[in-house]
Amino acid sequence: CALPTPWEPLRRVAVTGGTHGNELGGVYLVRHWLQAPGELQRPSFSATPILANPAATAVCRRYVDQDLNRTFTNTFLTSKAAPDDPYEVTRAQELNQQLGPKGSDQAFDFILDLHNTTANMGTSFILEAKISFSMHLCRYLQLQSPELTYSILEYQAPGETNGLPSVAKNGICLEMGPQPQGVLRADIFSRMRALVASTLDFIELFNRGTAFPAFDVEVYRILDSVDFPRTEDGHLAGTVHPQLQDRDFEPLLPGAPIFKLFNGKDVLYDGDSTVYPVFINEAAYYEKSVAFLKSRKLTVSVPALPALTAAPTLAP
């Protein structure tokens, strides 16, 4: 759990919303900040608010042609522009120009990408495994509001990462739910807003030379996905079992029911070890053949984040 750790102040920070156009928390926060950007200013930097998918946002859909948050691959980002490109490929290239280029020294230092889910996931942070800077951010946010429950969801991309935050040197997704698509709940909106403010505060502290000690933390590491039971023509043959619905991050034991078929029968979890389901019954995942994701709960040790002034100098 080590790299990449910034060794310089983070000056170029973006807060992105509307990466999925029907997840209204980020959409309306960004729209607000575009009119009133002062809230994103800190002494050492100003975060840039960006409406990531304006076309999808305008029609209140997740995307227009394809999921933008799966489009930040080198293949899409470096493909030659063509008139019949999917909208999101064009938009990903624009964002890569503005915030990247991905993997380059010119790329933004940090992207905080704002999402909502229909699943009962509370406040979750989604980040790539082994990014200790983002882990320190999560830790900081947890300490700011110890009365709230936060969950850290780690993924290890099997190939290259394809999400919007991957364009920057560091990044994280903030995922809050449950909130229906196309709905803006005031409670989720204000909590998301407060978390963005605390994120910027954390970066400000880091920029000013604050060191953060090592710690151990519980994380959920994504394993794989489970599809709905389906009929021959691809429609659902049942849905998430009432005993699993809304139980994100709770243990699922072998033999426990996971689906209720329309014919009345239960489908049981046939794995041989306990897992922790997340994104249970997320609306956007029906088309991705995902009823929920399985995760493993583990404790990781995060090394200290040294103060900037203590950054190692180059060897002579």
Q: Known catalytic residues?
A: 175
Provide the token pair at 275.
Answer: 């897992």
Binding of residue 300 to its own copies (CB under 8 A):
no
CA distance 20 to 174: 13
* CA 289/CA 278 separation, integer angstroms: 14
Instruction: For residue 232, say whether it is annotated as part of any ligand binding site.
Output: no
Does the footprint of its own copies cover residue 186 (CB under 8 A)?
Answer: yes
C-alpha 61/C-alpha 47 separation (Å) is 26
Q: Which stretch binds its own copies (CB under 8 A): 133-141, 157-165, 247-255, 283-291?
A: 283-291
Residue type, 259: F
Does position 245 interact with its own copies (CB under 8 A)? The reply is yes
Pick from 55, 184, 194, 308: which binds its own copies (CB under 8 A)? 184
Q: Assign residue 28 a region (left: φ > 0; alpha: ψ between -120 and 50; beta: otherwise).
A: alpha
Question: Does 115 carry a binding-site annotation?
Answer: yes
32 marked as part of a ligand binding site: no
**Residue 181 Cβ vs its own copies, minimum distance, rounded to whole Å:** 6
Using rule CB under 8 A, residue 81 touches its own copies: no
Q: Which two tokens stand for residue 238?
A: 């049942």
Give the residues across from 12 on adjacent strands: 46
Residue number with CB closer to its own copies (46 or 245):
245
8-state DSSP, 107 = S
In the block, residue with structure tokens 């799966």: 70
Shortest distance, position 61 Cβ to its own copies, whole Å? 8
Total interface residues for its own copies by CB under 8 A: 35
Q: Strands, DSSP E only, in 90-191? A: 110-116, 122-128, 150-155, 170-177
Q: Is 262 in the site for its own copies (CB under 8 A)?
A: yes
Query: Would you tell me which residues interact with its own copies (CB under 8 A)?
Result: 28, 31-32, 35, 60-61, 118, 178, 180-187, 189-190, 231, 235-236, 238-242, 245, 260, 262, 281-284, 286-287
Annotated binding residues for Zn(2+), as ranges?
20, 23, 115
